[in-house]
Amino acid sequence: MNPLNFLAEFPLIFSTLAGVIGLLVGSFLNVVIYRLPLMMQQNWRKECSDYLQLPGEQYTSEPFNLALPPSRCPHCQAPIKAYQNIPVVSYLFLGGKCAHCKTAISLRYPFVEAFTGIISLIVAIHFGYGPQTFFALALSWSLIALSFIDFDHHLLPDSITLPLVWLGLFLSLFSLYTDAHASIIGAISGYLTLWTVYQLFKLATGKEGMGYGDFKLLAVFGAWLGWQYLPIIILLSSLLGALVGILMIITARQDRHQPIPFGPYLAIAGWIALIFGESINQAYLSAVGL
């Protein structure tokens, strides 16, 4: 039997395989989350130095990208061997500590791996075998990386958001999640909605209430899901952001004057709309009698 036909006929095996692949991707996402912002900062410094013709700037000859150098312990710089890098399993086997210096390994690493695996499993169960699952997984994995990067650095890299916008527009030609008409209007509306809020807030307060990356991320969801889902995403993300922000201020984990990244809440709301958006829309329309 053809392996592809086998996966199509046994959805449980297909979903389980998607979950396992998600664990492996989660390990790579940890690399993206840590290294991509550093790569961007390094590139910005070089561009500024070249543009301003600043003398004395030194750049390391050692390559630094998503593949090189190989993974190391950030404390003792000992190389991490392949068997020490198995998602979740290695963390448990090592007792959450480096095999060489015994420094504690951040719990975030196995969390991202396990979370990515669970999200991948849910996506596969929801969409089943087919291209919708493939592209929904790519979107979900990208959202996980964006969320953690924004949480750490208040940054949503264009190198992730812009390709997602174009991919969503491209997929709309095949009506995979929405049609081209709704996708184009969604991308434009998503960007302009938050851009308008940003400009009005800046005009009223003289401060910047959000970053341009947030505009682009909402444009991503407009392109993938269509303009019809934007109200749900904006409402859900605003509620999530407000609830979490208030909770963090009450528990003294967040200063009220310190900016809170909005990207993770947009990502959560957008992913919920991707999986449950149709049901939420129907429930809302029924509730208002439409």
Who contacts 286 (Cβ-Cβ below 8 Å, separation ≥6)?
none
pLDDT in tens, 118-152: 999 999 999 999 999 999 999 999 999 999 999 99
- CA angle (263, 267, 273) in 5-degree steps: 145
Who contacts 153 (Cβ-Cβ below 8 Å, separation ≥6)?
37
pLDDT in tens, 173-212: 999 999 999 999 999 999 999 999 999 988 988 888 788 9
Cα(65)–Cα(72) distance, integer angstroms = 14
Torsion of CA 86, 90, 96, 101, to 10 degrees: -90
pLDDT of residue 289: 65
Averaged pLDDT, 77-100: 86
Least confident of 24-33, 49-58, 181-190: 49-58
Who contacts 50 (Cβ-Cβ below 8 Å, separation ≥6)?
none
Residue 3's pLDDT band (cuts 50, 70, 90): confident
pLDDT in tens, 56-73: 555 555 788 888 888 888
